[in-house]
Amino acid sequence: MRPPAVFAFDRTTFRSFHRFTVMNRSAKLAGFVGAIGLLGFLPFIVLSQTSFLRPQEPQANTPVITPEEHTELKQQIAQSTELNLRVSLSQREVGLYRGDRLMKTYPIAIGQQGWETPTGTFEVMQMIQNPIWIHPMTDEQIGADDPNNPLGDHWIGFWTDGRNSIGFHGTSNPDSVGAATSHGCLRMFNPDIEELFAIVQPGMKVTVTR
């Protein structure tokens, strides 16, 4: 086996080695201190750069919305998402819409021949719980608590000629729903009209089409 190397230092070599070691440690220490100083100064640099950020001013050709236009825009957005009712007489159904999005449909009975349901755009004008039915020809009345009341327990009116009215209502004859058998009104199953009554508000748009 080869013996380990032995290094002999004379006085000159030792002084040179000692001077290199001290200088090397001093350089490392100076670098460490410098790094700490840089980290301490870094937030000031960032803050200084950030302080120059400013909100951009609108360009000269940027359109500006007036308060009147802003109010009109809000109304248009509200109208585009408001609830409305759309009746299809041919499909014998009424759809509940939010804007143009269909939420739910309900089957209905419509006006018979000679008593056709009017078409057009209307608004809900009357909402009555436990309505009294008045025959359009004889003025016969059937009270709200009578099980034979053809209106059921709820009435949502949207059309009138000053004497007779037309609207959505329940029925004492659920088998008639889906047929053309009413005096112009739109009959619904009692649970359906009850559900719709809780949603509808006066002024809601009602569109009736063939």
List the catalytic residues.
169, 185
Alpha helices in 159-204 (DSSP H): 190-199
3-state SS, one letter per residue, for 81-132: HCEEEEEECCCCEEEEEECCEEEEEEECEEECCCCCCCCEEEECCEEEECCC
* Contact indicator for 151, 133 with CB cutoff of 8 Å: yes
Structure tokens, 124? 């809900």
Q: Which residue has the tokens 């790094």?
A: 35
Tell me how many degrees the CA angle 179-183-189 measures, rounded to the nearest 5: 50
3-state secondary structure of 180: strand
Going by the DSSP 8-state scheme, the letter that residue 174 receives in this structure is G
